[in-house]
Amino acid sequence: MKVYALRSVPVRSLLKWAGLAPSSFYYKRSGGRKGIKPSTHSLTVRGERIDNKIVVVQIESVLRQEFCCYGYKNMTAELRELGWIINHKKVYRLMKDARLLYGARIRPLPFKRNFIRFRSLKPDRPLQYLAMDIKYVYIHGTGRNVLLLTVIDIYSRKVLIYQLRSHIRKGDVLVMLSLMLLEYRAEGMSIRNDNGSQFIAQVVRAYLKDKGILQEFSHVGTPEDNAYIEGFHSNLQREVIDRYEFDSIYHAQMILDRYYEWYNQKRRHGALNRQTPNHVFQNINPIPFENKKLLNYL
């Protein structure tokens, strides 16, 4: 039997006749060498190298906003705004692995939160109930937002402490709370906040628990739960942010320092019967909230 070589027939035709894919025919083993492994950490603008698990927690926190169903491109922009150095390909991989792409359900947090039960409070003394929240402040000179974290006393509406930063992390929250508790006693104290990643961080929750402070979380997409500090932010927006153009974060810091001092010492508050926060906070025998309306008739 003679075998004739089909020298004039193209290789692809032969592969087609044999039913063999070209990629299989041309494949060559690389000697066991594999591609680059996916990174396990991500960088921040501060130069921190943080585990990707924290990035996923941040993504989940963003997606817990009511109506938010970002894809990986919008999420990339959000993470960059929050201070992460990350590209859209990595965000896609992380969201895919965590099943956070379109149509996926958001997994519940791995801890039980104490949700706010009563929106309206009637505290009978200062430092019984506190509220903290973050507000965006636009810096005209740089064309970017910075973050303002403030803690107020609900009884007196006094600003206890605040910080203005380009980015606020859980470490910043811990430092601020530590400084606050150097001046004020934590006994019998409760603090309410939203579900931001800075507040749900394990180290922040553990610190507050260790100090004996009850931490309450607002329901997702319900800013009314934290209405006291939302009302304060409304005043801040009207009286400062809408009236000033900030050249830099340092300019904003200078203006806010003056405003917060004036707010505590001079600004009369309707809910305090036109008294100032400092006056109510420092008064040894404060007027009960339910009796303050009687002063209008005296």
List C-alpha distances in Å: 13 to 3, 4, 18, 28, 221. 19, 16, 9, 20, 62
β-sheet bridge partners, residue 161: 151
What radius of gyration do the chain's Cα atoms show?
28
74 and 152 together in one domain: no
Q: Name, of 50-64, 206-220, 284-298, the range with top average pLDDT.
A: 206-220
143 and 263 together in one domain: yes
Task: Give 109's pLDDT tier (boundaries 50, 70, 90).
Answer: low
Task: Give 293's pLDDT tier (boundaries 50, 70, 90).
Answer: very low
83 and 164 together in one domain: no
Query: The tokens of 19 are what?
Result: 């039913």
Determine, yes or no, domain membership for 104.
no
Flag whether pLDDT at 103 surpasses 70: no
Range of the domain at 166: 129-289
What average pLDDT score do residues 54-69 get? 82
213 and 143 together in one domain: yes
Task: Give 123's pLDDT tier (boundaries 50, 70, 90).
Answer: confident
Helix (H) or strand (E) holding 159: strand 159-165
Flag whether pLDDT at 80 surpasses 80: yes
pLDDT at 259 (0 to 100): 96
What average pLDDT score do residues 78-92 get? 91
Domain boundary among 81, 97, 113: 97
Query: The tokens of 225 are what?
Result: 């739960």
List C-alpha distances in Å: 252 to 83, 163, 216, 231, 273. 20, 11, 30, 20, 30
Flag whether pLDDT at 249 surpasses 50: yes
149 and 235 together in one domain: yes
> What distance in Å separates the CA atoms of residue 110 and residue 194, rounded to the nearest whole number?
17
The domain that holds 260 is classified in CATH as: 3.30.420.10
Flag whether pLDDT at 116 surpasses 80: no
More confident residue, 50 or 12: 50
74 and 148 together in one domain: no
> What distance in Å separates the CA atoms of residue 201 and residue 172, rounded to the nearest whole number?
12
Determine, yes or no, domain membership for 170.
yes
Task: Give 36's pLDDT tier (boundaries 50, 70, 90).
Answer: confident
What is the b/e burial string over 145-161, where b = at least 16 CB atoms within 10 angstroms of the residue's CB?
A: ebbbbbbbbbbbbbbbb
Short-list 78, 72, 66, 53, CA closest to 106: 66
63 and 171 together in one domain: no
More confident residue, 202 or 4: 202
Q: What is the DSSP string of 239-268?
A: IIITT---SSHHHHHHHHHHHHHHHHHT--
61 and 158 together in one domain: no
What is the total count of domains within the chain?
2
Determine, yes or no, domain membership for 1.
no
What average pLDDT score do residues 18-22 get? 83
Determine, yes or no, domain membership for 29.
no
Mean pLDDT (the chain) is 85
pTM for the full model? 0.61
The mean-pLDDT minimum among 132-136, 220-224, 237-241, 289-293 falls in 289-293
Determine, yes or no, domain membership for 260.
yes
Domain boundary among 77, 97, 117: 97
What average pLDDT score do residues 42-70 get? 84
Flag whether pLDDT at 156 surpasses 50: yes
Determine, yes or no, domain membership for 257.
yes
53 and 170 together in one domain: no
List C-alpha distances in Å: 117 to 120, 130, 201, 217, 229. 9, 15, 21, 9, 17
Task: Give 238's pLDDT tier (boundaries 50, 70, 90).
Answer: very high
Flag whether pLDDT at 54 surpasses 70: yes
Determine, yes or no, domain membership for 112.
no
84 and 155 together in one domain: no
134 and 93 together in one domain: no
> What distance in Å separates the CA atoms of residue 188 and residue 126, rounded to the nearest whole number?
11
Determine, yes or no, domain membership for 35.
no
pLDDT at 129 (0 to 100): 94
What average pLDDT score do residues 173-181 get? 95
93 and 135 together in one domain: no
Handedness of CA 292, 271, 281, 152 (dihedral sign): positive
Residue 126, SS3? coil
